[in-house]
Amino acid sequence: MLVIGLTGGIATGKSTVSKLLKERHVPVIDADVIARQVVEPGTSCLAKIVKKFGDGILISDGSLDRKALGSIIFKDEQKRKQLNAIVHPAVRRAMFWGVAKCWLKGERFCVLDVPLLIEGPLWKLVYKVVLVYCPPDIQLQRLMLRDNSSIEDASSRLDSQIPINDKLRYADDRIDNSGGVEELNAKIDAFVAGLRKEAGWSWVCRLLCNIRTKSIYGRILYLYFSVFVSTETAQEATCTRNIGEILA
């Protein structure tokens, strides 16, 4: 199974591309969605957070009071690291099981939607990196329109990220989202068709190579340790994003 890494920059349209892929029945594992799911009521991750930071971070229905937790961690770097240590492993595990389930279902490929894919070493471990791209000037205009922000505020947000043109050198493929919706839909259709063709040949090759494969459990463990056990560098690169999604 091919594991495709999907990334982009702010206001480039990555979320739209992810949605269009899902509409075409492409399995998409969304890191931002997972970061919110792992702290839902009843999860072990939320229980650990409450144990560490107290019941004051819960609202009456037992769900996370994101504002209260944010006021704690953004004032104290040590507490922010403690929260990272709880949340990030839970996100990694959920992503791994998402990929494993796709593989067990016989999917030929799946897409990892990871905003900070390139900022950590995960981009080296996926089959290919797909970048949702638009020129910086269009990116700036879209960000200002989306957030109703000034050019100064929008520029400041863009400056805090790796420039979209710098991300191009990491991309094996790119989806140019400079045009309109119809144009993007056509590009997604072509991308998915190409991916299915590519995955078909890959499946045949892997089938021939896997005649001597060991147990299914061994293959799952290999997938986990080769792709989803992140290094410390990867944790540092992605934790901020995970925390941001939890507190959003």
Report percent pLDDT > 70 for the chain.
81
The bridge status of strand 128-133 relative to strand 109-113 is unpaired
pLDDT at 206: 54
pLDDT at 234: 44
What is the chain's length?
Answer: 248
Mean pLDDT of the chain: 85
Residue 209 scores a pLDDT above 80: no
Residue 77 scores a pLDDT above 90: no
- Using a CB cutoff of 8 Å and minimum separation of 24, what contacts does 48-52 make? 48/86, 49/83, 49/86, 49/87, 52/82, 52/83, 52/86
Q: What residues contact 235, with CB distance under 8 A and at least 6 apart?
A: 84, 88, 120
* Range 196-214 average pLDDT: 60
What tens digit of pLDDT does each residue of 32-76 get?
999 999 999 999 999 999 999 999 999 999 999 998 998 898 888
pLDDT at 236: 47
Residue 213 scores a pLDDT above 80: no
Residue 208 scores a pLDDT above 80: no
pLDDT at 74: 82
Q: DSSP secondary structure string, 7-46? A: EE-TTSSHHHHHHHHHHTT--EEEHHHHHHHTTSTT-HHH
pLDDT at 116: 87
pLDDT at 122: 81
Domains in the chain with CATH codes: 2-247 (3.40.50.300)
In angstroms, rounded to a whole number, what is the distance separating the alpha carbons of residues 207 and 149? 52
What tens digit of pLDDT does each residue of 146-182 get?
999 999 999 998 998 999 999 999 999 999 999 999 9
* Range 198-206 average pLDDT: 64
pLDDT tier for residue 232 given thresholds of 50, 70 and 90: very low
Q: With 0.85 as the threshold, say if the pTM is over it.
A: no
